[in-house]
Structure 1
Amino acid sequence: MTTPTAARPAERLTRLLTTITTVKAPYQAAFFRIGLSTVVLAFLLREWPNRHVLYGNHSALSFDLAQVLIREERTFTVLAWGDGGLWFETVYAVTIAAAVAVLLGWRTRGTSVLLMGGVLSVVNRNTLVGDGGDNVVRIMVIYLVLTRCAQVWSLDARRARRRADLPGHDTTGLLLWAAAVAVLIPLSSYSTPGWSLIFWTLWAVQGLWYAVGLRFPRHEARAALDAAASMLHNCAMLAIAAQVCLIYATAGWYKIQGSRWQEGSALHYALHLDYFTPWPALSGFLAGSTLMVLVLTYLTVMVQVAFPFTLANRRVKNVLLAVMIAEHLGIAVVLGIPFLSLAMVVCDAVFLPTAFLIALGVRCGRLAAWLRALPPWEVRAPREAAF
């Protein structure tokens, strides 16, 4: 018979294992998935008319120079396989399709990997035309692969609810998994060895998941794989949060060292740069107020430096988070850097309260139900003229 004192360590260990093997922040992960894929989709569609000049065969960075840069930086891009227009169009279109699939949460385990490969391929083809937002997106699409971001608000979640009685049967998933070999084989000969190993490992893990699900749908092996995936998800969400804190802390502490930020005039100079004034009247109005420039300059530094230290206090963190989101939206409008700002807003979402996200999901569901309940437009034939 075990004593209460001896049972306490076992209970604590059980609670610890339960905690780390349970998916944390599923709504934050779903919002992160939807937001990040939306940013990627919007970016690719906006650059559609200029895609060949930026990343294609008409880029100022020629194919040969891009090959040299790729080898020196050891980056991954399938656009290094060839400089043909058809190949570039295929990669660009597949990346857009992957962004739509991840946005809807369709086959997210596979489409998130496809999105990662597509984004890295397009952006790494010419890293000299980015504005900082591409760096954030490149990092976050890698983290997205490691999360279980389709637990809620996704087509995968709806399919899982409908097939609760058939956990191992997924013919479409198996066909897509088998078809991935057609891409992985040439990938091994063209990409760097490290990236080939990553993609083959992801493919093998997904195959193991399908095999255990088909053979042992309710066995302990499936539970062990599910627990491992949950732990990986929790680590990825923690890494995303740490990355966001690192970005803000680095930006804030570097600003402190600048004389323009110390005297409170840094924003004044930014508002007078032609590249960052999409709305000259608005920029002139803000730059004309010395007090407003001073307050916004110091507020930016204080918020960025203080944000990582406010995570211990939920109320202060939520207030500062709202200020950070408002600041990024203001930067997107005033300075004309929309994708960097939207990418950071999406990253900030991992700190949003769960209750707020649930309420947001309920309201969106009600709005969708209301839109579906609207009567269709009636097409009426024009009245014949009376003679």
Structure 2
Amino acid sequence: MTTWWRGLVGSVQGLRAGIDDWLVGTRHAVRAAAVCRIATGLAVLGLLASNFSTRDMWVGQGSVWAEPARAISSFPELTLLDGVSSDVLTLLYVVTMLAALAFVLGWHAKAANVVTFIGFIAVVGQNPVVGSPGDNLVRLTLLWLLLMRASDHWSLDAARRSRRLAAGKEASREEDALPTWLSAGLHNVGLVALGAQTVLAAMAAGLDKVADRSWQQGTALYSTLQLPESRPFPALSDLLADHRVLLALLTYGVLLSQLFFGPLLLNRYTRRLVIVLAVVVNVLLAVVFAQPWSALSTLGVTLLFVSDRTWERVEDVVLGAAQPVTDWTVERGYDVLDGVDVVRYNVVLPVVDWVRFTILRR
């Protein structure tokens, strides 16, 4: 009994040590977090940019038609822009778009994350009528990304850090603000929370669909394809609506990618299958059903489950394929600089000297 108890205690201690090492030892999925940052920022930027011309109608002074929905809503963000002028709304709208662009590029990503998060809630939350589950996913993703180091790769921040290290300079104030173990711990907590949120959101969406009679009867997607706002490419919509097999496959693909998203992640092979299926389904939803920004935000958190090893291989392939283009661009850039030097020494400087010695000395 004593030996058994010691073995159990040793196993528990080993498990705890392993969890502690995973949690605070190093940051995990940093490339996947960068992909999530880019996709989420693009979703916010695309949503706001595509609706910029109608901002007064859906969130500004022209959105009085949504007052009944605001009156019964208890969300506090409704008061953030209550009664503001069109100029103030436009200013906040543009600032949020610029912050989202900075977030995509990874330029001062933490500050950009905060501004994007607040601005997105303030703008999109003004009209509960036009909101969608994708908006809630975006705001939760932005919240958890605040804890994560999403700009360690594929960002201007990472490029700046690399230049500082190459120049032998010390780390920036931002990097020294927290000890390594705490920074890694916060990142990994945010990663786990965002992953759990993604699984729960997918399964909840799947359960909601199977409880709907239109999904049970297989008519949900067909009915959506008949709506004018869901037909960006009418010929493609008609093609899909007229082929029952394709429509059935897409229906089952949506349900399987949501209902069984969590369980299928537990195995390496089924994980690849469900991620590919989710990517295909969201691309189709973006193209066929005119939901690009919602699909992009969903893709961002879905690709969070792709390992960094895979993203490294993708990075190598992309860089290898892009190298001829980048080499050609650099060579043309040098040619342009050579041309500028020729013009400078053969045209600009002689003219300057002629003006100095001929005209100014008179």
> Same fold by TM-score, threshold 0.5 exceeded?
yes
Match of 2:139 in 1: 138
Contact 1:261-1:298 at 8 Å conserved across structures = no
Q: Is the 8 A contact 2:29 2:307 kept in 1?
A: no
1:60 paired to 2:61: no
| Structure with bigger gyration radius | 2
Aligned Cα root-mean-square deviation (Å): 3.1
Where do residues 246-261 of structure 1 align in structure 2 (5 Å cutoff)?
246-261=200-215
What is the TM-score normalised by the length of structure 2?
0.79
Amino acid in structure 2 at the alignment position of 1:151:
D
Aligned position for 2:34 = 30
Q: Which amino acid aligns with 1:258?
A: D
1:375 partner amino acid: R
Cα deviation digits, residues 307-326 of structure 1 (max 9, x gap):
21111111111112111111
C-alpha separation in 2, matches of 1:151 and 1:77 = 36
Which one-letter code corresponds to 1:20 in the other structure?
L
Is residue 192 of structure 2 the alignment partner of residue 238 of structure 1?
yes
CA 110–76 in structure 1, closer or farther in 2 if over 3 Å, else same: farther
C-alpha contact 2:275 2:302 (8 A) present in aligned 1: yes
- The 5-angstrom pairing of residues 12-161 of structure 1 reads 14-21=17-24, 22-61=26-65, 72-75=74-77, 78-80=80-82, 82-161=83-162
Tell me which of 373, 376, 382 is aligned to 2:330: 373
Post-superposition Cα deviations, 1:60-96, rounded to whole Å, max 9, x if no partner, equal 357x8798567x322376423x512221122112111
How far apart are the structure 2 equivalents of 1:16 and 1:336?
43
- 1:327, distance to aligned residue in structure 2 (A): 0.7
Alpha-carbon separation, structure 1, partners of 2:331 and 2:36:
30
Instruction: Kindly indicate whether residue 277 of structure 2 is the aligned counterpart of residue 274 of structure 1.
Output: no
Displacement of 1:23 after TM fit? 0.8
Secondary structure in 2 aligned to 1:129? Answer: coil
What residue ranges of structure 2 are gaps of 5+ in the alignment?
1-6, 340-362
TM-score, normalising length from structure 1?
Answer: 0.74
User: Is there any run of 5+ residues in structure 1 with no aligned partner, and where?
Assistant: 174-208, 214-221, 380-387
Separation (CA, whole Å) in 1 of partners of 2:330 and 2:171: 35
Kindly, what percent of the aligned residue pairs are identical?
27
Shift in alpha-carbon separation, 1:258–1:55, aligned structure 2, 3 A: closer
Contact 1:77 1:120 in 2 (8 A): no
What SS does structure 2 have at the residue aligned with 1:128? Answer: coil
How many aligned positions are there?
326
Greater CA drift, 226-235 or 329-338 = 226-235
1:313 partnered with 2:316: no
Residues of 1 paired with 2:13 and 2:256: CA distance?
A: 45
